[in-house]
Amino acid sequence: METVSTNKAHGGVQGVYRHASAQTGTDMVFSVFVPEHAPGAKLPVVWYLSGLTCTHANVTDKGEYRRLCAELGLIFVAPDTSPRGEGVPDDAAGAYDFGLGAGFYVDASQEPYAKNYRMWSYVAEELPALIGENFPADMARQSIMGHSMGGHGALTLGLGLPDRYKAISAFAPIVAPCEVPWGQKALGLYLGDDPAAWRRHDAVAMIESGARVSELFVDQGEADQFLTAQLQPERLEAACAEAGIALTLRRQPGYDHSYYFISTFMEDHLRWHAARLG
């Protein structure tokens, strides 16, 4: 693992790191904030998954999480959203919603994407092992959150690995990718035409098929330009009500899809996670 940069912040260390990923076959970059802590202490880990077009840098630069993580004693990990590098296949037309910056947190089964686009296994298996080996992380206390496509990733990873994550939350998540254009494009090209493969990466479909967690926390801006066509939080609301999952869905008047929205409510999410991480 190579250290790209470190900076002191709120008494802790904000680092950016690079490593050669066995899952994606590329170098991957991620950021980690480690708060000040006693020697030998192990700290809980909050994972943050970013949205379309983003890298680790978006939340690292604009998420305004370090003060709270320092106060609450939380390690904050932000992976990239896709493999990158020479030879990694992209959308032929260079579209923003597929390919580079848009891995959708799935393991692709279709060519030419299957070799590199293994973001589920990267986030669920490879990167946690690296974090556990190189940082003062208590891997028995992990939680996960994300934004937009990353909110989709947080929900599906959380529902798929319910014994791992002590808390799951999201900002403006894609809750039912099987039913909306962003998801239909990405799941079709990455996973093929098998609807069962799609449903394993759709939070609403997973709940309908029996996936269970005790509670979820979601913030959604009412002025979000993608609310009606791509996000549709009412689908998650209905699925959770039917399944008996306690969903806190806050509709925030006037807020859009940007990091102005995310940074405004980041404190609420981190305090909610910290209370459940112990």
The 3-class secondary structure across the chain, one letter per residue, is CEEEEEEEECCEEEEEEEEECCCCCCEEEEEEEECCCCCCCCEEEEEEECCCCCCHHHHHHHCCCHHHHHHHCCEEEECCCCCCCCCCCCCCCCCCCCECCECCCCECCCCCCCCCCEHHHHHHHHHHHHHHHHCCEEEEEEEEEEECHHHHHHHHHHHHCCCCEEEEEEECCCCCHHHCHHHHHHHHHHHCCCHHHHHCCCHHHHHHCCCCCCEEEEEEECCCCCHHHHHCHHHHHHHHHHHCCEEEEEEECCCCCCHHHHHHHHHHHHHHHHHHHC
CA 127 to chain centre: 13
Reading the block at residue 6, the tokens are: 């470190």
Given 31, 152, 224, 273, which residue is catalytic?
Answer: 224
Given 147, 257, 269, 273, which residue is catalytic?
Answer: 257
Q: Which residues of 241-259 are buried (b: 16+ CB within 10 A; e: fewer)?
A: eeeebebebeebeebbbeb
Given 21, 143, 148, 169, which residue is catalytic?
Answer: 148
Active site residue 148: yes
Q: Which residues are catalytic?
A: 148, 224, 257
